[in-house]
Each structure stands twice: as C-alpha cells, then as structure tokens.
Amino acid sequence: MKQNDYLQLNNLVKDFHDGRGNIVRAVDNISLSISKGEFVTLLGPSGCGKTTTLRMVAGFEVQSSGDIILDDKKINNVPAFNRNMPMVFQSYALFPHLTIYENIAYGLQVRKMPKDTIRNDVAMAAQMVNLVGLENRYPGELSGGQQQRVALARALVLKPEIILFDEPLSNLDAKLRIQTRTEIKRVQQLLGITALYVTHDQSEALSISDTIVIMHNGKIVQSGSPEDIYNHPADPFVSDFIGNANFFEGKITELDNRFVTVSLLGSEVRVPAANVQDGLGRGNDVMLAIKPEAVEVKPDTGQFTGKIEVSSFLGATTEYKVEYSDGFLTAIHPNTHGEVHNYRFGQDVRFSFKTDFFKVYKR
Amino acid sequence: MNIARKPRRINSSFHQLTREPALMIGVIIITGLLILFILYPMFAAAKMSLTPNGQFSGSVYRYVLTHSQYLNAIRNSVFLGAIVATLATFIGFLFAFSLTRVRIGGKRFFQGMALLPIISPPFMFALSVILLFGRNGLITSKLLGMDMANIYGLKGLVIVQTVSMFPIAYMTLSGILQGIDPDLETCAMNLGAKRGKAFLTVTLPLALPGIFASWLLVFVSSLTDFGNPIIIGGNFNVLSVQAYLEFTGMGNLPRGTALAMLLLVPTVGVFFIQKYIMKNKSYVTVTGKSSRRSTSQSSAALRIILTLLCAVISGFILLFYATIIGGSFIKLWGINWSFTLNHFIYSWDVGFTTMKNTLFLAIISTPITALFGMAIAFIVVRKDFPGKHIMEFVSMLSYAIPGTAVGIGYILAFNKAPFELSGTAFILITCYVFRNVPIGVEGGIAALKQISNEIEESSINLGATSAATFRKITLPLIRPAIFSGATFAFVRSMTAISAIIFLVSARWNHMTVLILAQTEIMRLGAASVMSFALIIVIMVFIFIIMKVTGLGREQIFGTTK
C-alpha cells in the first residue's frame, strides 16, 4: 500500500435533480488523495458540496460518476453499512430510545461481537472520551457536550481506520467548541486514525487539520497545509473566505524577477513577484488582496489617507473600519504591550500596507 | 415545586380573574356550557342506569354482565376492535412509512386515498361491500356465481371498518414517523446495520408509542362505531348496536343506557393512556439540529413492493367508491342491471329536504364549533386561572365519550323542563358543537403554543395594542388551525350517526339516518345516490374552504407535506 493515497477520490461527480426538471451539480469532478493517519478537512461555505462529498464517501449518496478507492480497492458499490467508516453527525444522531451504553455498543452489537468484548470495548471508549458514569443515562439527559462525546465514542469503539465528521461542533457553544476540537485532535493522533472532517468554520479548520481542502461551487479551489492556505491563498475567493481580505483594483505598471509594481489608489505599491498569480504581465488589470492584519493605521504617517468609520475593541486586537477614497477597508491591530491607539469615530488617519502580504490576482 | 409557593400562585391567578372581568365572564360561561352539555348528560345517563326503579341499585349492570346475549356483545365488540385495530394500524403504518420515509412516487394520490374515507358517510363502505359481496353481489353472485354469499357479520365488519379507520392510524403515524430524525437511520447504517436491521432497531422502537396510540384510537373507533355494524353486522352482535336496540327498539331505557355506559369504560381509559403516551413521546427529538436530508437509502425492490401494496389498497378504496356511483345508476342491483335515473328522482323527492336540513345544521354549527374551540384554547394557553386544566380536560373529554352514550345522555338530560330540547334543531347543533369541539381545542392549543410570547411581546413593544396584536399577529398565525378545525367539524357533522340517531325527529332528520333507513328497506340504489350526494356536498364544501382561505390540503388535514 502506498502511504500517501490510502483514501482516494477520483473525478467524483454528484448531480441532483431539483424536482423541476433541472440538474444541479453539487459536486463537480473532484479528486483527492488522503494518507493514512492524515487529518483532512473539507472547508467551504454552505452549498459548496463538502457534505455531499462526505456522504458519498460514507455511502449515503451514490456518485453520478467517479471512483472512491480505499486501500487500493474500489468501494463504489460497497453499501454504507459495510464501509466501516463511522461518522459523527452534526445532529449527533444519538438513538434516543437507547442508553449511552447501548448507543456506544450499537455498532458492535450489529456486528454480533461477543458480549464480553462489547462490554470491554464500550468501557474503554467511554473512558477515552470521559463518559464514565453516564452509561445508564439516556441521550436526552445529557448536555450538548456530553452528547457530542457519545457520538465520538460510538465511532471510536469500532476501532475504525477512518472516521468521518460532518460539522460535529456546530451545535456547541464557542468555548466548548474549542475544547472539543482539541479533544478530537488528541484522540485522532493518539490512535493514528485517518479523519475526513467537514466544516464551514475556518478557524476550526486551521487549528485541527493536517490538510485543508477548500471547496467552492462543487469544485476544489485549493488544498494544502493550514499555513500554506492562510499565507498563500490561491484566488480571491480563498483570500476572502480564509482571511476576510480587503480587495483593491489595480494595474501592473512594471515587473522584474523580484518585484512587481502595481498602481493602487492613485499611488503605487511594490509586491514580491512570488505573490503574483502566474501569467500576469505589464499592463494587466489585477485584483489586490490583503489581510486586515497587514493594514497599518497611523495618526500621521502612511501612504494613504482615510477616516475612522468604526473602531471595535476586541480584547487581544482592535478592529478598525476605515473609509478611504474608494470605499471601506478593515484593519486589525494587535493590542500588545499596551500600545493601544484609541482612534475616534470620524478621526482623519493615514494608513499603509505591509506590501509583502499583498496577493495579486487576475481581474 | 415547593409547597410554599403554591398558594401564592393560586392567589395571583385569582387576581388575573378579578383584574379582567371579561375573562371572568368568559370562563364562567364556558364552564357552565361544558358542564351542561358534556357532564350533565353523562350524569343523567349514569343516573338512569343506576336507578332503574328510582332507587340506587347495580341490578341493571348485574343483569347485563350475567346474560350471555350481552356478554357476547361485549366479547364481539372487543374481538372485532382488536382485529380491526391491528389491521388498520398495519395498513396505516404501511402508508405512512411509504409516504414519509421511503418517499414512493404518487404521493398526492396515495395521500388522497388515505384521506377519502375520512370525508365519507359512516357506512358507505358497508353499503358498497354489500353491493360487491352480498347475496346479490357483483363479485360473489355475478362473477363467482356463489349462491348464498354471506358477507354479513365479522368478515364484512372487519373489511369495512379497516378501510374506513386506517386513515386514523395513517394520520397518527405519519406525524410520528416524520418526527424521527432521518439521520438516526442513516447513522445506524453507517455503524454497520443493514437497512432491515436499522429499521428494526431504530425506526420501529421509536415509532412504537405511535403504533400503540394508533392501535388504541382505532380500537376505540371500532368499539364505538354504529353505522357499519347496524348495516353489515348481521348476527354478529356488538355493544353499540345492542344499546341502540335496547333503548329505542325495546324501550328498555336503563338497560340500553347501561350498555352505552359500558362503552364509556374502554374509551375513557384509552383517552387517559393516549394522553400519557403523547406526553412521554418527547424523546423523539432530543438532540441538535438535523441535517434534514431524507434517507433515500431504500432499495428499488422495497420501493416497488411498497408502491404495489399501497396501490392494491388504494384500488380497493376506489372500487368501493366506483361501486357506490355504479349502484346509483343500476335499476335493481343483482337482478336487473339496466341503466336508470329513477334512484335520483326518488332520492330527490325523499331526501331533498333532509339534505337541506343536514347541510343547514352543519353550516350553523361549524363556525360555532371552530370559534368555541379556539376560545377555549386561547384561554387555556394564554390565561392563568384556577381550574383551567379542568376546563381543558372536560372540553377534551367529550372526544372520549362514545356517540351512543352521548345520544342517550342528551335524550335523557334534555327531554323535560327546564331543558326541554328534544326534537329541536338546537339539540342537534349543541350535540355537533360539543362532540366536535375537542378537535378545535387541540388544534388551537397546538397552534397557540407555537407562537412564542416573544412574538406577541415584540408586536406590543413596537407599538401595537393588544387588540391590534391579536388581529395582525396572532390571528393570521392560528388561522390555518381555525379552518382545519372548522373543516373537521363540518365533515363530522355531515357524517354523524351514532349520537344523532337518538336525537333526530321528523322535522329535523339527518341524511345518514335517512340512508340507513333506505338500506334497511333494501333500497340500495337510493342509498347509493344519497351517499354519493353526501360525499359531493362535503367535497364541494372543502373545495370552497380551500379556495376562499388559500390553504392547502396539508394545512387543512394536518398531514404530511
């Protein structure tokens, strides 16, 4: 078995009929390779096809074309109940008429495992996710976080090679969400399980994944490590989705091997050539993207002029909405070392960019 | 709840009454009406059966419970009810499962088939079965050449009650099945269960309370059914018919009343069990938001089998309707098959006035029932006063009282001063109103509970008065429930028989009673025409309601989308 393609999706397509005679392509020819033990996240806005992709892997949806290959074997026609890829559902899908013990034991019982094995395995799974003592309760008597852990234990008890996650944290409150994702990551690494995880929350994806796959309109637009995706978004969509980037229109006026000069807001900026999309040359109209963290607002020095529209103190950072000649931009300043600038609403300011962080895309 | 707080709550709820005189007057009037028209007739009936000679005595019951004729009737009723409840629940589950979970094609058609029996006269299927399988039946005599086919009795009753009562099971179960998150089945399969195993370990156990509830509802319906057994029961003696015959035929008022009171025991028992089940079914939705995707995990073979089964049953239902229509045009069924319009002419002469009166009474009582039900629901949900749960309970209780007992109770309660009402239109209207009000109350409570206080508060907060809030916010939101309740009230008024057969008079007759009379004198053609006409009138009314209000079939009948 080759290490880097334990689970392969080859040219997967899924078409739905919308009931009015039209065909909607939910997943459009995606290919993906996942290594053993890798944590891969499908990230994208709702309707991008990420959940449909996951459900095809689980066998709940049948692909319109393409192959799913596990361990060098095509599993296109393996029914869902034989795939052994337990999924943690968004709704947890705990069986309300069964106790926590029975919920966790369910997969083992339908596999007709011996009673002793079931008892031991359930006890171990319950221990692993810290559910000891709750085995005789019913799901309705548990808190949201506990229910979530039951769903996880129910999957883990099957000792699977792969676990699927369908937005498992979206029903938890913010603090619990962070706690639980750390927990999921810990267990996944401990057991060396391969994970395919679906979410629309970029901070969740960034914090938990080995590889992030960004999907948009049924297609994969970029995949790579969290650092790679964050620092080198492949197109304006990824820039916006991952970094909430500011966008500007410009034109390339000069370029050499190391730098590209782009006209911007009646002035010019020099951007490293590595940050420019391939195939762009002198005279091309371009789209510049820059994250709010790379915008510096200052009282009196800076390349451009603007006016504070909104100033939001967020604790670790302060976020400014700045009005400039062509519209509004967002800037985020860390509140480190007590140097907090308190810009007022309507105050005239100057701003400039850390130009190394500009991304230049085709317009 | 700690004890110390309780008196204060009662105090404060008393205060709401004294603060709002209009509410107090409303509560007093409603309570008075509920006592007079629901509890008092039952009291009168109980008194009649317990004081046969003016003195308190259990002798009537002792007599009934020691004589084989009556014991047989009890046994037959229970036996029939158990068979019908089992079959009807099975078919209802089949329909509900096929339509809500497997999502077979032809949904609108099958749903229509499952609703059609609800809007049909009570013994239409019995009439149809006689035409098809009776001594001169189209199938038994004409096609199979059988000489003395006997469809009367248990066989015939099982067929007609199952067909006419499976919609009760369907409506109960489709609600329950829709409440089960499809993710659960998907998850079971994901964990390694095959489709059948997932059904047996997840779907079925979760539907079990609903299955049990539906079984009980059908059981009670069968037990209290009067229209079918009187027509097709033959020698198979059941309690409701026995009570009627004792009461009106033999004039043995105490014994007839006692038999009717015996019916009350299981129905009220079921009413309590039902309430208990529905209160504890809450585990259906415990966890977070569902993905709302329906499972289309079913195999093609399963879909075909379920579609075929539903189609066969629907075919039967349609056959029964076609038979009634056919019977309207055939000169003498089984003997002379030539075409005629004579039955229409005869029915017009004999039945026109009755039809007019039946419709008139139904149209008068329908809005009263709907508004009265909504008023009770509104007070129960939105106001706080001592005894409001008792008010809710009593208003729902009339659901549990068998029609035969209601009819006898009304006759006994309202035949002398100060309430001398027998033979009037008024007694029929009150009977309709109080028998059908639970549907309105139930629907109203469900609708009002869905409107959170915050919606109304935000309207008031935005500057609307309470009255304007009610008109602009509350009323539009409960409107579907009002019209749904009204439609059911109308249909039930038009198809009533078990209670009103005791209350009709020469002046105020009812179509169903007239059809029964035609059937008894073997004028089956005329009976067919009149049944047919009754269905048409009901359908036209529902059609008008849907057009005028813009509500769909789902909203009116509260079934699946």
Predicted confidence band of residue B149 (pLDDT cuts 50, 70, 90): low
d(CA A43, CA B432): 60
Out of B194, B198, B287, closest to residue A92 by CB: B287
The secondary structure of A186-214 as a DSSP string is: HHHHHHT-EEEEEES-HHHHHHH-SEEEE
Out of A80, A97, A107, closest to residue B283 by CB: A97
Res. A163: pLDDT tops 80: yes
**Residues of chain B found within 8 Å of residue A87, distances taken between Cβ atoms:** 187, 190
Mean predicted lDDT score pLDDT of chain B: 86
Contact (CB<8Å) B290/A91 = yes
Lowest mean pLDDT, pick from B124-133, B396-405, B546-555:
B546-555
Q: Check residue B297 and give its pLDDT.
A: 58
The upper half-sphere exposure of residue A106, i.e. CA atoms within 13 Å in the direction of its Cβ, equals 35
Predicted confidence band of residue B456 (pLDDT cuts 50, 70, 90): confident
Q: Which of B176, B186, B187 to mutate to test the interface with A (most CBs of A within 10 A)?
A: B187
Contact (CB<8Å) A147/B287 = yes
Burial group, residue A2, by CB count within 10 angstroms (0-12, 13-18, 19+): exposed
Res. A57: pLDDT tops 50: yes
Contact (CB<8Å) B291/A51 = yes
Q: Looking at per-residue confidence, does B289 or B123 come out higher?
A: B123
Could you read off the pLDDT of B467-492 as tens digits, one per residue?
A: 788 888 888 888 888 898 899 999 99
Q: Check residue B277 and give its pLDDT.
A: 73
Q: Check residue B16 and give its pLDDT.
A: 67
Predicted confidence band of residue A340 (pLDDT cuts 50, 70, 90): low
Q: Which of A110, A113, A118, A137 to mutate to test the interface with B (most CBs of B within 10 A)?
A: A110
Res. A187: pLDDT tops 70: yes
Tokens at A9, concatenated: 């999706």
Out of A95, A97, A110, closest to residue B192 by CB: A110
- Range A191-198 average pLDDT: 95
How far is CA B83 from its chain centroid? 19
Lowest mean pLDDT, pick from A206-210, A318-322, B454-458:
B454-458
The secondary structure of B361-374 as a DSSP string is: HHHHHHHHHHHHHH
A80 shares contact with chain B (CB less than 8 Å) = yes
Q: Check residue A266 and give its pLDDT.
A: 85
**Residues of chain B found within 8 Å of residue A93, distances taken between Cβ atoms:** 181, 183-184, 186-187, 287
- Range B281-310 average pLDDT: 63
Tokens at B22, concatenated: 């209009």
Res. A2: pLDDT tops 70: no
Which residue in chain B has the smallest CA separation from A80? Answer: B190
d(CA B368, CA B361): 11
Contact (CB<8Å) A96/B206 = yes
Q: Check residue B4 and give its pLDDT.
A: 42
- Range B235-243 average pLDDT: 92
d(CA B492, CA B470): 29
Could you read off the pLDDT of B253-264 as tens digits, one per residue?
A: 999 999 999 998
Q: Which of residues 178-207 of B touch A (CB under 8 A)?
A: 181, 183-184, 186-195, 197-198, 201-202, 205-206
d(CA A10, CA A161): 20
The whole-angstrom distance between A189's CA and the closest CA on chain B is 22
Please answer whether residues B117 and B125 qualify as being in contact, where contact means their C-beta atoms are separated by less than 8 angstroms.
Answer: yes
Determine which helix (DSSP H) or strand (DSSP E) holds A362, and give its type and residue range: strand A359-362
Predicted confidence band of residue A330 (pLDDT cuts 50, 70, 90): very high
d(CA A58, CA B189): 10
**Residues of chain B found within 8 Å of residue A83, distances taken between Cβ atoms:** 190
B297 shares contact with chain A (CB less than 8 Å) = yes
Calculate the alpha carbon distances from B134 to B60, B131, B526 in Å: 37, 6, 17
A3-236 and A244-362 in the same fold: no
A58 shares contact with chain B (CB less than 8 Å) = yes
Residue written as token pair 């002792």: B62
d(CA B538, CA B535): 5
A93 shares contact with chain B (CB less than 8 Å) = yes
Out of B191, B194, B286, closest to residue A96 by CB: B286
Out of B197, B287, B297, closest to residue A94 by CB: B287
Res. B5: pLDDT tops 50: no
| Three-state secondary structure of B334-354 | CCEEEECCHHHHHHHHHHHHH
**Residues of chain B found within 8 Å of residue A55, distances taken between Cβ atoms:** 293
Domain ranges of chain B: 58-281
CATH number of A244-362: 2.40.50.140
The whole-angstrom distance between B186's CA and the closest CA on chain A is 7
The 3-state DSSP class for residue B195 equals helix
Mean predicted lDDT score pLDDT of chain A: 90
d(CA A167, CA A92): 10
Res. A23: pLDDT tops 60: yes
The 3-state DSSP class for residue A329 equals strand
Lowest mean pLDDT, pick from A233-237, B162-166, B256-260, B465-469:
B465-469
Q: Looking at per-residue confidence, does B446 or B409 come out higher?
A: B409
Could you read off the pLDDT of A99-139 as tens digits, one per residue?
A: 999 999 999 998 899 999 999 999 999 999 999 999 999 99
Res. A61: pLDDT tops 90: no
Which residue in chain B has the smallest CA separation from A153? Answer: B191
Res. B13: pLDDT tops 70: no
Out of B190, B202, B206, closest to residue A87 by CB: B190
Cβ pairs A/B, distance under 8 A: 103
A85 shares contact with chain B (CB less than 8 Å) = yes
A238 shares contact with chain B (CB less than 8 Å) = no
A139 shares contact with chain B (CB less than 8 Å) = yes
Res. B3: pLDDT tops 60: no
| CATH domain A3-236 topology | Rossmann fold (3.40.50)
Tokens at B3, concatenated: 């004890």
Res. B285: pLDDT tops 80: no
Predicted confidence band of residue B272 (pLDDT cuts 50, 70, 90): confident
Res. B557: pLDDT tops 90: no
Could you read off the pLDDT of A287-299 as tens digits, one per residue?
A: 999 999 999 888 8
Which residue in chain A has the smallest CA separation from B192? Answer: A81
Contact (CB<8Å) B194/A81 = yes
Question: Of the CATH numbers 1.10.1740.10, 1.10.3720.10, 3.40.50.2300, 3.30.70.250, which one belongs to the domain with range B58-281?
Answer: 1.10.3720.10
B302 shares contact with chain A (CB less than 8 Å) = no
How far is CA B424 from its chain centroid? 25
B300 shares contact with chain A (CB less than 8 Å) = no
Domain ranges of chain A: 3-236, 244-362
The 3-state DSSP class for residue B258 equals helix
Res. B11: pLDDT tops 70: no
Please answer whether residues B440 and B485 qualify as being in contact, where contact means their C-beta atoms are separated by less than 8 angstroms.
Answer: yes
Contact (CB<8Å) A93/B283 = no
Q: Check residue B1 and give its pLDDT.
A: 36
- Range B488-513 average pLDDT: 91
Calculate the alpha carbon distances from B73 to B63, B403, B409 in Å: 14, 17, 21
d(CA A339, CA A333): 10
A97 shares contact with chain B (CB less than 8 Å) = yes
Contact (CB<8Å) A139/B286 = yes
How far is CA B204 from its chain centroid? 26
**Residues of chain B found within 8 Å of residue A144, distances taken between Cβ atoms:** 288
Q: Check residue B282 and give its pLDDT.
A: 45
A239 shares contact with chain B (CB less than 8 Å) = no
d(CA B116, CA B109): 10
The whole-angstrom distance between B296's CA and the closest CA on chain A is 8
